[in-house]
Amino acid sequence: MRYVRFVVAVRSSSSDKHLEVIRAASHYDDEGLFSVEQSAEIREIFKWFNQHLPRPGRTTRARNAGRKRQKPVSWFKDSAETHLERARRLVELLESHGIVVEMITTERPGYIVHEDEFQVVAEPFADTSE
């Protein structure tokens, strides 16, 4: 199984990882980057994700005082074709405004702390790309 993330250069203040495409689109929409039509389309995509992408419950492993914990990140499964199509549309919207988006793939996302049919949430291994 391959896992996919789309990220921008902006880093999250909470995880210090690159913002993934859904959060990036929200960030730039809040800043007024998009046209009224694009903003409406983004909100529709967010609404779709809210209805079709389960919200993870637990997103950390058990505490281990002797180990530095990594902040978990979300990865789409490569089999989640419809979800990836919508994420790619967000990529197109961001790129149309000069925002560079990188697609990262891996077979080793890290220590998986949540998994459902469409995604995993994982604490990255030291050598896992963000």
> What tens digit of pLDDT does each residue of 35-64 get?
999 999 999 999 999 999 999 876 566 555
Three-state secondary structure string covering the chain: CCEEEEEEEEECCCCCCEEEHHHHHHHHHHCCCCCHHHHHHHHHHHHHHHHHCCCCCCCCCCCCCCCCCCCCEEEEECCCHHHHHHHHHHHHHHHCCCCCEEEEEECCCCEEEEECCCEEEEECCCCCCC
Residue type, 34: F
- Record the pTM: 0.86
Average pLDDT, the chain: 89
What's the pLDDT score for residue 107?
Answer: 96
Residue 65 has pLDDT above 70, yes or no: no
